Structure 1
């Protein structure tokens, strides 16, 4: 019997319309999909006490699969709600299409293997690997369609293919196919597939079906990317979901292929803010580098005297001794290597101009949060002066002027659990700093107020909270000049913007889940 992918009202769901449509249909459509994987997880957990050691991997795999289904369902609900409220947000950035496809297929392999199916992708020769567009949204569509293919295919394969539909100097229209060898879809049911809450119901022993959200989300995303989506299928002949998107040729980055490959570096990271250290260390280590840390300038100097590092990354302003003084002492011969690359690390936009950075002996200034591409470009230019140095082509995208969302996605896009932990730590720390600054202002403790504002500025920069960073910087300057009235106004503004920043960070967190 072919797949019966029908609209909700034809599959026994209550028919409602208008503003009440979303909650009632959502409850009716998703209740089974939530309960089924949850019950599977509970059942597998109950078996751990009984099973032999050899069964562990299989049990864990089943639980992971069930958890992924819940995760996808929750994300679909969140996405649909956001799309209803404000449409689909699409960004524009360079990415490698082949790598994105490889990652999509790799993530789906466990589900394919569990179902005994083959999975893969094909790129025609004229499809460029480097393109410009929204990698995450394109991946979201492909991920949804591949999951559907695996869900409704009992034997055979699911394959993704991509070809060029149109090409010009500044536009590239690609056509993607997601083909499965399942039982196909009746013609009369195909036109309703992309409606909100159109279910994919199937008469099979496992009763596999969806909540009717994924294809509706695919339609909205594809349309936001300047394309269209459709299905071609005959009963017994499998199904081919097809869509087009409008991308662009990747920006010229001046020959990345000529760049010297950086070895894994030993790095000294010195900063007095624990959150900055945690985020930056995790980022550097996830790129293969070895990192040791110091909480102030004096500790950094002692490490540099007794240990050898490839690179030092020093906060501009630290207790005991600032980064500039540490650098001057190393350059004068107090450390193991007077010529090592040393970079200033700061939350300020332009704390020093190039002349002052050079005068201190540092090799350059890197803003917080650390951008790995820029960091590695700077280090490469210092270690390999003849290597081609690419130019940055990305643009900062702010969430209502509060958050540098693109920077956060570059840092944490594939590590949502890390982002969640650090977000919570940052917000908790920021609330404590607000209380400390209010007490300092009440007691006219200007040095304490300036010091705490500086700390908030650094942690805000690391979390991409650009508005809080700028306001904390301004408060620090006001405190240093002991301007009481201005400090009070700035504190009130910071309190209000911290609430808005928390909402923006929660929104970004929900996108990554």
Structure 2
């Protein structure tokens, strides 16, 4: 039901009241009310007028009321009807208005919603427009940046290309198929082709076949391992210039890790190679010079030492004995100074090695003291020797090096001492695990060394700059060499000194206690038929006298050819062979004698003043041993006893002085190092030896190919280097003849090297094929014997 609005008019409210109360009831009520009002009004008027109330007044009022009431009622009824109709109409209007209002509200809400939606859409469109504008701006910026980046990339590419082309290094890259994909200007100069011409070609299309195969093999290794590789190659330019390049090859990949091919860099190392060759040549020249000086100086020195030693053994007056002893000591001093020079060269070439032997410390010390005592006596000095007990009877030490160390220090002690004495003492700690610490102390009462100079005393070529030292000069290398030799022996050397009171040197060395018997100082074999091959008459005289005094028979040849002729017509138990002969080398003589089977069962010992070479080098060249000049009696006894007596003689009824080898054994010994092979079999086992031989056999074709390639390129240094590698490999598996031939090839300083090297290489190739069979046969024989 419609609820009345509080703003409805009173007429509408009255009409509504009449409708609710009823027209009839309201009409009657109105007549009554009107009648009462009329009566009351009449009464009030009469009273007000001062008249008495008459019944007529009431009748008149009633009649008037009754006459007027129907018209009033009609009017009121019509009025009510009109009002009701108006009300109804108004209600309908209000209802319509209400509906219109609601529709308006709905439409307004919808309009507001549409407006909000429109506003939202407009906002979204505005944002979208802003985003589009931002995207356009970003796109414009990106395009601008990309354009700038592309421009920079083009500049960078041009710059990199310019750098690559301007680079002195060789640069090229190849794809997975092994074809050129690009290069720089140096590569174009090398190949004589432009980059456009090179693209698509293989190495075989560009380089000579041997070189191409070598590079392809290296490239294949890089691609298989995906690791970089560096090697050095001689490359020939299109204009026939040969340059030495250090080639580095690396695989290169794209951003996704896919390999695209191989990138190669080559740095021209020709100047460095030439500098290395020059340095090597300088070192070789220096070594050759020292070797020549060694030969030339030791020849007269050999005569002085030998003859003075022989003179001392004759009947002499005290004065004559003193003179001869001074000559003898001076010659030994000169020899030791020369040894310092030789050792200095060896230190420069890292060839100084120790040769351990069983030595009696007591005898060693007394022998050294006896020589120094002669020098001290010349200056009226006393040499005091002290051997502190207990001292190990025998130790293993390089007696030559230890003697040289002590000689240098004792010689300096005598040289810098004007009066008083020089003391030499030796002591040893208690042995532990067959080791003992032996300490030599040399003290003098000489001029001393200033405290500021102590730290510099072992420096090479250093000499104390002090007035008290001006009276005695030297080379400044003796103590430096002593220090390096002591370090080589894992020992320690220290010095303390006080100016005007003297100097104290202390040398401490860790030495093994020797359980092996000391080499016999007495010659155990006599009546040997010896061929002495020597071209210096003085050396012949000294050596012949010494050998004959030791009970041997000596025949002399003064040239290589004379030695060969004598060996053809006579049988000798021993050949003492000088290496430097006027017509050929001692090795040439030995090779000829072996080739003609003239030395079956005959030992050959090198006599040489060249102390540059190591003993192993002479053994590798077929010598059974080596004796250095000047010849020492102790060394002769040592070598003779080693060659012609057994360490422990078997219990036979008759024992021969000279064990002789069979022809087959001698022939096998000429090509194989049986002693080394037997030691390897006993130590590491036959299977490991066979495996090592297999590795050598597999590697040898490659070694020979590189050797022949280097020889074809006339690269002497490369030939010598490869021969050195072959020599080492052959030595490790006991192929002594292959080792000797390779050693000949590696001696690039040989005056007739170029004239002989092709023959040597051919000889090496034949020896490898033949001697490998002999080695396998020997190993099979060992298996059968086992």
Instruction: Flag the structure with higher helix content.
Output: 2
Larger radius of gyration: 2
TM-score normalised to the size of structure 2? Answer: 0.32
Higher relative contact order (CA 8 A, sep 6+): 1
